[in-house]
Amino acid sequence: MAYFGVKKMVSEEKVTLDYSPALGFINRDELANLAPRVRRVHQVLHDRSGPGREYLGWLEWPLLYERDEFARIKEAAERIQKQSEVLVVVGIGGSYLGARAGLEMLLSATAGEVPNGEGVRLLFAGHQLSPAYLDGLLNYLRGNVFSLNGVSISGTTTEPAVAFRFLRRLAEEKYGRSGAAERIYVTTDREKGALRRIAEDEGYERFVIPADVGGRYSVLTPVGLLPFAAAGIDIEAVMAGAAAAYQACSSPELEVNECYQYAALRQIFYNRGKTVELLVSYEPALHYLAEWWKQLFGESEGKDGKGLFPAACDFTTDLHSLGQYIQEGRRLFFETVLRVEDPGVSLAIPRMEDDLDGLNYLAGRSLGFLNEQVLRGTVLAHVDGGIPNLILNIPALTPYYFGYLVYFLQKACAASAYLLGVNPFNQPGVEAYKQNVFALLGKAGYEEQGAALRKRLEKMTEVAEE
Ligand code: PA5
């Protein structure tokens, strides 16, 4: 553990967990006592003997990923860069959030600058149904050269399927059917689904989401790697980071495995009645990483009436909106802080002759130093306010640490769900609304369900009018 506070936090070329700010709330024995259970969870994961075992393809993926497909991703990315200024990635949930998280973490930290200067601009569609959003995007694309990447495991999810139809039609109008076929790429199941069928019929290049990798565990497959490579992100470094995390998280021993420590601490807080985990960061570039994390933990654990609710805040922004509640409201939560050790830029606060704002005492200090002191002050204040804090130290916002963090969190999540006693890899609850939408839209096969839902809606109106 790298310690918060007096000891200098040393970068170790890995993401580290520091739970020293939580030690006033738990004792080390309580954590150590979970070691035998964690060992069992490790065994269940690695023996592939637990619920959802058919979705463990991600577990050894950083070592075993398909090298030929990886080479094809790089070739396609180069082609996309030559073909287009923009790549529109069409997907939702696990087929969207990871790509967006990586893009924002790695490029928006530098205000959207692409590291190697060759990447295309990534835009997203199919992650909601807003007519205004899609109309604006279509208008923008009429004036810009674009390629498309449709991403969907099932190939039937309504939001991306509808957006893909609009975008495909625009591509065909602009480039002709065969021209469109040269700039549309599809990432989907190897064998099934409507998207796969379209790709085959139209001759679009296809990339495979392995059948044993679920959506929220898929960012290190072509789901994330193709958009990253097209945007100029070094995907070799992403996979090297994931492989390093694989090694670092491979021990069954709680004492040395920080990803299991994170999982175990979450369970301790949950069992003490903390029902919410608040993931906070001080870098806006991590906003979408938190969105991806919400899906990862929310869908993996929120079932059978159990699970921590995963929420997120952007600090310091939200300290000026939710800070009051966090400090003094109901003690529902614990906090996990994403702390970036090296912000990548050093911006010195200027000295001003007049010092009218009284800030000369900070002159010459870097903005990163200021951000770090706010982080420290806030952790201490929140601990004083009764909120246990954990810190995940991320050495820098680089592709390597993105890959590292993704693997670390995926494994922590799977372990945490097994400790909780739920299947980390299914999401039966996501289907409920999808089925209702098909029924209300009149999809074939859903007629009876549609009639029943319409009746319920009418009844609600009657009751409201009484
Ligand atoms: O985790 C899930 O199952 C969902 O969030 C999916 O990722 C999302 O619904 C997209 O599904 P698909 O990739 O089949 O389009």
Q: Which residue lies with its CA nearest to atom 3 of ligand 1?
A: 215
Q: Which residue lies with its CA nearest to atom 15 of ligand 1?
A: 152
| pLDDT the model gives residue 6 | 43
| pLDDT the model gives residue 39 | 98
Is it the case that residue 10 has pLDDT exceeding 60? no
| pLDDT the model gives residue 112 | 53
Local structure of residue 190 (DSSP, 8 states): S
Predicted model pTM: 0.94
For tokens 């820098």, the residue is: 396
| pLDDT the model gives residue 111 | 52
CA dihedral 230, 236, 239, 243 (to 10 degrees): 180
| pLDDT the model gives residue 128 | 96
Catalytic residue, candidates 299, 301, 335, 341: 299
Mean pLDDT across the chain: 93
CA 98 to ligand 1 center in whole angstroms: 12
Instruction: Tell me if residue 274 is catalytic.
Output: no
Q: Model confidence at 210, in pLDDT bands (50, 70, 90)?
A: very high
455 CB-side CA count, 13 A:
6
Is it the case that residue 156 has pLDDT exceeding 50? yes
Instruction: Tell me if residue 127 is catalytic.
Output: no
| pLDDT the model gives residue 161 | 96
| pLDDT the model gives residue 1 | 53
Pocket test for ligand 1, best of 127, 149, 153 (most atoms within 8 A of CB): 153
Within 6 A (CB) of ligand 1 lie: 92-95, 152-154, 157, 160, 215-216, 299, 427, 430
State the sign of the Cα–Cα–Cα–Cα dihedral 340, 341, 345, 346: positive
| pLDDT the model gives residue 465 | 84
Residue 147's SS3 state is strand
Q: Model confidence at 8, in pLDDT bands (50, 70, 90)?
A: very low
Instruction: Tell me if residue 434 is catalytic.
Output: yes
Residue 310's SS3 state is strand
CA 223 to ligand 1 center in whole angstroms: 12
Please give the number of the atom of ligand 1 that sits closest to the Cα of 93.
5
Of 204, 222, 226, give the one whose Cα is nearest residue 213.
222
Mean pLDDT confidence for 442-450: 91
Which are the contacts of 33, defined by CB distance < 8 A and separation ≥ 6? none
Pocket test for ligand 1, best of 427, 433, 435 (most atoms within 8 A of CB): 427
Pocket test for ligand 1, best of 58, 157, 296, 435 (most atoms within 8 A of CB): 157
Please give the number of the atom of ligand 1 that sits closest to the Cα of 91.
15
| pLDDT the model gives residue 24 | 92
Please give the number of the atom of ligand 1 that sits closest to the Cα of 154.
14
Please give the number of the atom of ligand 1 that sits closest to the Cα of 434.
9
Mean pLDDT confidence for 312-331: 96
Q: Which residue lies with its CA nearest to atom 9 of ligand 1?
A: 93
Please give the number of the atom of ligand 1 that sits closest to the Cα of 218.
7
Tokens of 205: 């290049």
Cis peptide before 316 (omega within 30 of 0): yes
CA 92 to ligand 1 center in whole angstroms: 6
| pLDDT the model gives residue 433 | 87
Residues of the chain above pLDDT 70, percent: 95
Mean pLDDT confidence for 367-389: 96
CA 24 to ligand 1 center in whole angstroms: 40
CA 351 to ligand 1 center in whole angstroms: 51
CA 154 to ligand 1 center in whole angstroms: 8
Mean pLDDT confidence for 364-373: 96
Which are the contacts of 230, defined by CB distance < 8 A and separation ≥ 6? 76, 77, 80, 81, 87, 119, 120, 122, 147, 149
30-66: pLDDT as tens digits: 999 999 999 999 999 999 999 999 999 999 999 999 9
From the number of C-beta atoms within 10 Å of its C-beta (0-12, 13-18, 19+), residue 452 rates as: exposed
Catalytic residue, candidates 320, 353, 462, 465: 320
CA 460 to ligand 1 center in whole angstroms: 30
Of 118, 112, 113, 114, give the one whose Cα is nearest residue 80.
118
65-120: pLDDT as tens digits: 999 999 999 999 999 999 999 999 999 999 999 999 999 999 876 555 555 567 89
Please give the number of the atom of ligand 1 that sits closest to the Cα of 94.
7
Please give the number of the atom of ligand 1 that sits closest to the Cα of 215.
7
Catalytic residue, candidates 46, 74, 174, 434: 434
CA 401 to ligand 1 center in whole angstroms: 25
Is it the case that residue 3 has pLDDT exceeding 90? no
